[in-house]
A and B are shown apart, each in its own frame.
Chain A
């Protein structure tokens, strides 16, 4: 066994004729922040979507902490400790922060066949703690997510992932459409992951951001990995040259 928390071997994915992943083999190392870069359509999101249970690979295997796993639904992925934060769609704007934190994993006082009465006290207490942990300066967990700025929303998504003790946090272009200040905040979050012992996977089109907060960089082009180096052993120019 290696120190890989997730390892994928020879993953393939076809979308009705488009060969989006052509045999990707990659180890995500425990506690490391990995930057995933590549042009539009390189297959980054496809790889992430397979790990987060949104799509299934057509071929290849995935191991999590050394065990073979099958990730069929987003829930499977979350249960394995993998949390994914997308550009837009991690939050329901018409619901409060507290409700959003627990979507799909609501604490219940008792339940029959998975449906039960919400433990609102527990939700209120835990959500106060969860948002305090990521230093968001939010007044109250009862505020609606629709009232938050884009950066704050990503912050809440990260707080949620932390709260559920994720082992791997994947962020697929989390800084798109964010202001410079807010982007910096998100990058700060990514840097902070390591202290918490969480493995980070950060996807961005901005090389500076990736070099700013990651330990290792993996570049993809046309469904394949074309570069895999530690940040110290490469440069923005080199990464650009292989894309």
Chain B
């Protein structure tokens, strides 16, 4: 039992990963081999980075012990900001920088207000969900601005690789996943994030600047969400003010399915990636297996509850172990 608990803490994404493999096999069989064919995989891998980047941000933030419900709105606001600035003649790189700064500022506000007034981030970011969405619609002026024709899609959304298997966005996604994963496991800052979310009083007593750690995580989460939103807009070719709606909950679901604990301290970037992939695979696999697509949300909901129940059970076992020891 101790070993199981330890495995869960060290590799909380393991259960999700096993489930992912099982589902891939199941869908491959049910769809008579269509699921893993090149076209279908291209489709899945093409949109995975957008939800995946958001999930990475939400997972890291959750490990630090906080939530962000505003990611879907930032997902829309960041590219809208860029589009409007470009309509006003800003070159792409400057507009990108401005968009990222706006995202970072929203993350900072989320974090600062949450910590300064000691309120649950659930509430702060719920408020921000509405405000950032509203801002998106307001700056768009009611209808989506036209994007210039000469966008650097080659850097973000063009297909690359053997058989044009991936979009560039996938490479960004992999790079961000690897870097953030290393940050969590190999740097002192990663240690501080885990300590802050794992047990705040101890982290603070050991001199970790817990407020700053959390604010940085809020900012990282917002910046990744904004960046992901830009990827989607470049892929679709138009900055719709409604993109990313409902994304916050899917991102939380991804993190939790990937083994992150709602209480903080436990989780991995890999888990967020696995969780997102599971959701995308279920979405796609249900369609291919000719199951009524409305079962999709049911499946995600079920998985989420199942993951949280499993997490809670592990925690209870962990407590029992402490008592025995």
Contact = CB atoms under 8 A, between A and B. Distances in A.
Given A94-B9, A94-B266, A116 B207 contact: no
B6 A104 contact: no
6 contacts: A89-B199, A92-B199, A93-B199, A103-B206, A104-B206, A148-B325
Contacts of A105: 206-207
A106 interface: yes
Contacts of B191: 95, 99, 102-103, 106, 118
Interface string A102-124: 11111010010011111010000
B294 interface: no
Interface of B: 2, 5-6, 9, 186-192, 194-195, 198-199, 201-208, 265-266, 318, 321-322, 325
B205 A74 contact: yes
Given A149-B325, A150-B322, 8 more contacts: A54-B204, A89-B205, A91-B202, A92-B194, A92-B195, A95-B198, A99-B191, A146-B9
B104 to A, nearest CB: 17
Contacts of A52: 205
Interface of chain A, helix or strand or loop or mixed? loop
B204 A74 contact: yes
* 9 nearest CB pairs, A to B: A75-B207, A89-B201, A106-B188, A92-B198, A104-B206, A94-B265, A149-B325, A94-B198, A104-B207
Contacts, number: 105
A116 B5 contact: no
B188 A108 contact: yes
User: Which of A52, A104, A106, A144: most chain B Cβ within 10 A?
Assistant: A104
Interface of A: 52-54, 73-75, 78, 84, 86, 88-95, 99, 102-106, 108, 111, 114-118, 120, 144, 146-150, 152
A53 B204 CA distance: 10
Given A74-B206, A108-B188, A144-B9, A103 B195 contact: yes
A118 B186 contact: yes
Given A92-B265, A93-B199, A103 B318 contact: no
A114 to B, nearest CB: 8
A173 B102 CA distance: 48
Nearest to A85: B205
A73 B207 contact: yes
Given A115-B189, A147-B5, A147-B321, A94 B194 contact: yes
B206 A117 contact: no
B311 to A, nearest CB: 12
Contacts of B208: 103-104
Contacts of B207: 53, 73-75, 78, 104-105
Contacts of A103: 191-192, 195, 202-203, 206, 208
A149 B322 contact: yes
Given A92-B265, A146-B318, A117 B186 contact: yes
Nearest to A108: B188
Contacts of A78: 206-207
B194 A104 contact: no
A84 to B, nearest CB: 7
Nearest to A123: B191
Contacts of A106: 188, 191
B92 to A, nearest CB: 29
B202 A90 contact: yes
A106 to B, nearest CB: 4
Contacts of A120: 186
Contacts of A108: 187-188
B317 to A, nearest CB: 11
